[in-house]
Amino acid sequence: MQAISRALWYIESHVGEPFTLDDVAGVAGLSRFHLARTFAAIVGQPVLAYARARRLSEAARLLVSGAPDIMQVALAVGYGSHEAFTRAFRDQFGTTPEDVRARRSLASLPITEPLRMPDQPAAIVAPDRFVAGKTMLFIGLRRYFRFDERAGIASLWHDFGPHLGSIAHTVPGAAFGLCLAPADPNDEVGFDYAPAVEVSSLDDCPKGLSAIRIPPREWAVFLHAGHVSSLGATCGAAGDWLAQSGRKPAGGAMQMIERYGAEFDPNTGLGGCEVWIPVA
């Protein structure tokens, strides 16, 4: 159901920040009681227990990747002290952050993966407009996702957040989600995704981010007026339109662009956005 999709999106996009059940209920559009009862029935855990499990699972991933400072990991997932983080980590996994970092493995740890509710089908809709594109330049945080791992995209946006406002040559007015073909041309199970900003130059790309150049092409632009957690339905409707329109998908690495303008509220996931599909 859409309310639980909104709740899951909020948890993933705020994985490193403190929040309350009231915060999640407000985004989901439910009362505390209704959210607590419905979330537990669908997900199998209470809201804040699931949020805690997700935070600590992301912390475990950072630790096995060799994070040098455990306190920085604690802060990254919303814990204000080493003691509180270690206590929560031990309660969740039965071992300490130091032990997990030392063995460099998630084996035997009950990791909680991000959940995503199935996309609700949407009626086929015509594009709002067509845009004749110029070359576009982006700088973003690029990562590979299997199609069944898309729920992790909200957390990637959270990781990209600190870069917003500090990337040189940023073109103001919008942020973008870039869906790109994976590096392996034979890969049929996943895609690359990058939260990004448009820039006027790819010079001075910060370390850890990717410079992305999109060649000129025509775009079919679809409006998505609902919550961002239901964006998949609009993407599916756009794909159905393309299949029945007589147009063809444009070749190349770019698969789709999500454009988030000033009206989009990243805290609530409301305000709408645009889906740009390249067409030939």
The answer to whether residue 95 is domain-embedded is yes
Q: What pTM value is reported for the model?
A: 0.79
Residue reference for tokens 């669908």: 42
On whether both 154 and 208 belong to a single domain, the answer is yes
Average pLDDT over residues 116-140: 87
Average pLDDT over residues 223-238: 89
The answer to whether residue 120 is domain-embedded is no
Q: What is the mean pLDDT of the chain?
A: 90
On whether both 139 and 246 belong to a single domain, the answer is yes
Report d(CA 185, CA 9) in Å as an integer: 30
Average pLDDT over residues 249-260: 82
- Counting Cβ atoms within 10 Å, is residue 96 exposed (0-12), middle (13-18) or buried (19+)? middle
- Whether the per-residue pLDDT at 11 is higher than 90: the answer is yes
Q: Report pLDDT for 95.
A: 95
The answer to whether residue 111 is domain-embedded is no
- Can you state the angle between helices 32-43 and 2-13, rounded to 10 degrees? 90
**Domain region containing 246:** 129-279
On whether both 196 and 238 belong to a single domain, the answer is yes
